[in-house]
Amino acid sequence: MSGIWVVVEERDGRVSHIGCEAVAAGQKLAALTGLPVNAAVLGAQTEALAGEAATWALAKVARVEHPLLAAYTADGFTLALEQFFAVEKPDFVIFPHTYQVRDYAPALAARLGQVLIGDVTAFSADTAQPARPVFTRQLMQGRLNGAYRHSGNGACFISVQAGAFRADELQAGTAEVCSFSPTIEPAQIRTKPGERFRASAQTIDLGSAQRIVSVGRGIKDAANLPLVQELAAALGAELGASRPICDAGWLPLDRQVGSSGQTVSPKLYLAVGISGAIQHLVGMKGSQCVAAINKDPGAPIFESADYGIVGDLFEVVPALIEAVKAARQ
């Protein structure tokens, strides 16, 4: 067994931010288990990516290279890593929880006779000697935390949630770089690479806004948006949104707050009808004061809020608009 392997992803020629978070998670897991931590980079030309990963505190960085890995395909990545891990026999494999990973990692784990523990937000040591990691993942939209332990033989595959581990805690060091050439035939790639998913563009700079009113799926319909727009106007605030609102095209993508949207740090962040999924929280946790309106008292957003109003936003927001207007007169 060869310890922990983190499979990193490339973004604009560099290791992606969530890839760095996954490596930081790998280093934490190494501290918990006492196992060495390594990273694997995939592609047709991986020199630059491997060079970047080699500046971190890792035992090895493996360049898994093949011309058919130039563009991502589920078949190509699964085949390459299946062969690589058959040789390396890892104890743990960590992926960033991205669309790409969700596409191929479950198939890869299944081919190696394992399951993937997806969307991990934390891990801790159990009471066994030596200690084994217990992984946490959220259930029922963050209302419950599930604890998962890997049992049996073979590698434990996990993917880590964006924002759950901190890229700025990545430890620097020097790693040995090695190469692995998988055998892949063109006929084994059954799909044609499409255009890459793009995170939201940033033409509106929510990052420098002092006040933000953010709207979530609780608003129910695009036709109801003027209600929160009026509240934002009354407070002199920018309008932000959770991802489903932007995905539905109700507001432009550059209004999205969160791990695949903008990171904001206003003096006031008012979340209206937003549940508080971790991908949203990572984008606004730097806010000085968080207030939330949600009809569900168990909504996870309340755990991050300084002020919470449990109620129907269609009753609370009009009352708030009146109160703000009255206070400003």
Ligand X SMILES: Cc1cc2nc3c(=O)[nH]c(=O)nc-3n(C[C@H](O)[C@H](O)[C@H](O)COP(=O)(O)OP(=O)(O)OC[C@H]3O[C@@H](n4cnc5c(N)ncnc54)[C@H](O)[C@@H]3O)c2cc1C
**Binding span for ligand X by CB under 6 A among 40-48, 84-92, 226-234, 273-281:** 273-281
> Between residues 136 and 294, which has the closer beta carbon with respect to ligand X?
294
- The answer to whether 279 contacts ligand X (rule: CB under 6 A) is yes
Cα 52 from Cα 14, distance rounded (Å): 7
* Cβ nearer to ligand X, comparing 76 with 258: 258
Measured from the CB atom, is 14 or 143 closer to ligand X? 143
CB nearer to ligand X: give 206 or 313. 313
Min dist. Cβ of residue 265 to ligand X (A): 15
| In the complex, minimum distance from the CB of residue 83 to ligand X, in angstroms, rounded to a whole number | 27
Binding of residue 287 to ligand X (CB under 6 A): no
Q: Looking at 5-13, 126-134, 201-209, 259-267, which segment touches ligand X (CB under 6 A)?
A: 259-267
By C-beta, is 237 or 253 nearer to ligand X? Answer: 253
What track of x and - describes contact with ligand X for positions 120 through 159 (by CB under 6 A)?
Answer: ---------------------x------------------
DSSP secondary structure code for residue 256 in this structure: B
Map the footprint of ligand X across residues 157-186, applying CB under 6 A.
162
Which member of 158, 275, 305, 320 binds ligand X (CB under 6 A)?
275
Choose which of 19, 90, 133, 218 interacts with ligand X (CB under 6 A).
218
Angle, in degrees to the nearest 10, between helices 74-88 and 99-111? 50
Per-residue burial over 156-187, b if 16 or more Cβ lie within 10 Å, else e, is bbbbbbbbbbebeebeeeebebeebebebeee
> Judged by CB under 6 A, does residue 294 bind ligand X?
yes
256 binds ligand X (CB under 6 A): yes
Comparing CB distances to ligand X, the nearer of 264 and 268 is 264
Gap between the Cα atoms of 220 and 136, Å rounded: 30
b/e string for 189-211 if b means 16 or more Cβ within 10 A? Answer: beeeeeeeeeebeeebebeebeb
Site size toward ligand X (CB under 6 A) is: 29
Strand arrangement of the beta sheet that strand 60-65 belongs to: 144-148, 133-139, 116-125, 156-160, 92-96, 4-7, 37-43, 60-65, 176-180
The tokens for 172 are 């620097």
What are the two backbone dihedrals, phi and then psi, of residue 140, each rounded to the nearest 5 degrees?
A: 50, 55
Select from 244, 254, 304, 324 the one that contacts ligand X (CB under 6 A).
244
Instruction: State the Cα–Cα distance between residues 65 and 190, nearest whole angstrom.
Output: 19
**Residue 313 found at the interface with ligand X (CB under 6 A):** yes
Binding of residue 26 to ligand X (CB under 6 A): no
Q: How far is the C-alpha of 317 from the C-alpha of 230, rounded, in Å?
A: 9
- What is the distance between the alpha carbons of residues 238 and 214, in angstroms, rounded to a whole number? 8
> Are 268 and 237 in contact, with CB atoms under 8 Å apart?
yes
Q: What is the dihedral of CA 144, 149, 155, 160, to 10 degrees?
A: 30
Give contact residues for ligand X (rule: CB under 6 A).
141, 162, 216-218, 242-244, 256-261, 273-275, 277, 279-280, 283, 293-296, 299, 312-314
